[in-house]
Amino acid sequence: MNKRGWIIPLLIVAIHAVAILSQWSSLPELLPAHFDLQGNAGGTMSRNVLFLHPLMGAVIGLIAYGIARRKSLLQMGLMLLASGICLILLSSTMVTLTGGTMPIFMLAEPVILLAALIAFVVCVVKARRKSRQERTL
């Protein structure tokens, strides 16, 4: 796992970049942003801002990979949480690229966050149990 841990963040960033580049020529200079569940935009942003999403995903993914190399349960939980954040960035990009017309991407964000938080909490609980067991031995 640790030797290949860079693959998932790389795939997420690649999907991000491909999604943006495939739509780039058809995107207006200003894009609607911050959609509600009915698909109404609450603001606008420059299309150039879209490139910050995969860049942030790459940075978070590299941090997650570095954390995961340490092999502890707590650090693995942090890696899972960071990977969830990368996926939320991808979902946010997809909401913008679809102009808020596909609510599934908006609904994916809280689901991803909840799953990442649950995975993190599970890793923290397991790490504490393991630490207690080691202290009692």
Q: Residue-wise pLDDT tens for the chain (137 aa)?
A: 456 666 777 787 888 888 888 888 888 888 887 777 677 778 888 888 888 888 887 887 777 766 666 667 766 677 777 777 777 777 777 777 777 666 666 677 777 778 888 888 888 888 888 888 888 77
Which structure tokens are listed for 70? 């340490």
Q: What total number of domains does the chain contain?
A: 1
Report the C-alpha gap between 1 and 90 in whole angstroms: 23
Report the C-alpha gap between 12 and 58 in whole angstroms: 8
pLDDT at 54 (0 to 100): 82
- Domain containing residue 89: 2-136
pLDDT at 93 (0 to 100): 78
Report the C-alpha gap between 98 and 20 in whole angstroms: 11
pLDDT at 1 (0 to 100): 45
Report the C-alpha gap between 46 and 79 in whole angstroms: 30
